[in-house]
Structure 1
Amino acid sequence: MGEVLELFAQLLLLRRAPQYLPASGLLLLLTVAAYVVVNCVACSMYPPAGNWPVLLLVDVGFLLLWNGALLKLARRPERFLQTTTAVFGFQTLLAPLLVAWAWLWQRSHGDPGWQAPLMVVGYGLLIWQVAINSRIVRAALEWSMTASVALVVLQTIAEQLLQVAITVPA
């Protein structure tokens, strides 16, 4: 398991690609479970949205369906396990940084001295996340980096719209 965590860390540092991960359904299941646990712990650290369990399930389901559909459309379904494991793995390792940032953002709300630096850090984390995810998509689809970035941005927007649609009362 240590080797897999090291591979996830290498993905996070943009040094490896998903093809170095084993294509294992069990590994994907364990990685998704770790992702859920880390996000549950994160939600217990600061007041999340009231329906965060639903949003977490939507997040997991959307990522699984998005990656499955994308790889099927690109005629690369055999890369589903490695690609999806890589996405959940790097996001699991990145979660503590995102939680720390969210905690600082909430604590500093109203303090103009902290807002600009925290916004810069937040945008940096977002760009880093898009860069990692785009490299994973590029490796899986063998498309250009521009197309991969566009797909990751589209994925992010689509998921946000889905979450808003679910959380807005009718």
Structure 2
Amino acid sequence: MRALLGVIVDIILLRRGPEHVPASPALLAVVIAVYAAAVAITASLFGPSEQRWAIELVVAITATLVFYQLALTFAKKRERFTQTMTAIFAVRAIFTPLLIPMMGALLAAMKGGQPAPSMLALLLLAGMIWNFVIDVRIVRTAFEWPTPGAVMMVIAQQLVMLAIFIMLVGTPPTPPA
């Protein structure tokens, strides 16, 4: 377990890639469960009350798994699915509990008519950008593609996830002015 955490930290610091994660379906299931628990706890404690975090969580997990399963199959790299997903969900399990409270605080400040704290907004932006960079690095390594292709793949996955969420739930309610 300690060795796995070291690998995940190295992935976050861009020193290693998903190929260093054990290819274990059981480990992938555990990592997804840890990610789901982390999101559930932080979203229920720090997320906006009207946020549909449970539906968002199910859509995020399912869409990510299906999207990359199809993409890796089409790229003829299906054997890399387990390691790639383990790396992506392990990174999300670490980043999401850090980002949700920041986003909740920013949304609460905006709802209250107060200006959003700029340092908090910058930290949230930096965390989201770093998470994106890590996802691109994982995808680039898994698919053996150049960086622009990996960037497009990660953006496509996010857009597919957003489209699925909108189709299932509709657009989120607009906050009152």
- TM-score normalised by the chain length of structure 2: 0.87
Q: Which amino acid aligns with 2:142?
A: A
1:52 Cα offset (Å): 2.5
**Who is 2:5 aligned against?**
5
Q: Secondary structure at the match of 2:14?
A: coil
The question of 1:133 aligning with 2:119 is answered no
- Given the superposition, is the C-alpha separation of residues 14 and 48 from structure 1 closer, same or farther in structure 2, using an over 3 Å criterion? farther
The question of 1:160 aligning with 2:162 is answered yes
Q: Which amino acid aligns with 1:54?
A: I
**Who is 1:112 aligned against?**
115
- TM-score normalised by the chain length of structure 1: 0.91
Q: Distance between the aligned counterparts of 2:89 and 2:147, measured in 1? A: 20
**Who is 2:144 aligned against?**
142
How high is the sequence identity, in percent, across the aligned residues?
A: 29
**Who is 1:66 aligned against?**
67
Q: Secondary structure at the match of 2:84?
A: helix
**Who is 1:34 aligned against?**
34
- Given the superposition, is the C-alpha separation of residues 48 and 163 from structure 1 closer, same or farther in structure 2, using an over 3 Å criterion? farther
- Given the superposition, is the C-alpha separation of residues 153 and 69 from structure 1 closer, same or farther in structure 2, using an over 3 Å criterion? same
Q: Could you list the structure 1 runs, at least 4 aligned residues long, displaced by more than 6 angstroms after superposition.
A: none
Q: Distance between the aligned counterparts of 1:49 and 1:67, measured in 2? A: 30
Unaligned runs of 5+ in 1: none
1:50 Cα offset (Å): 5.2
Superposition CA RMSD, Å = 1.7
- Given the superposition, is the C-alpha separation of residues 8 and 147 from structure 1 closer, same or farther in structure 2, using an over 3 Å criterion? same
Unaligned runs of 5+ in 2: 172-177
Q: Which amino acid aligns with 2:19?
A: Q
**Who is 1:22 aligned against?**
22
1:68 Cα offset (Å): 0.6
> Cα deviation per residue 1:62-118 (whole Å; 9 max; x = unaligned)?
11101111110110000001000000000001112112312321343232261x433
Q: Which amino acid aligns with 1:111?
A: Q
1:123 Cα offset (Å): 2.3
Q: Distance between the aligned counterparts of 2:51 and 2:127, measured in 1? A: 25
Asked if 2 retains the 8 angstrom alpha-carbon contact of 1:12 and 1:94, the reply is no
- Greater alpha carbon shift after TM alignment, 48-57 vs 14-23: 48-57
- Given the superposition, is the C-alpha separation of residues 113 and 83 from structure 1 closer, same or farther in structure 2, using an over 3 Å criterion? closer
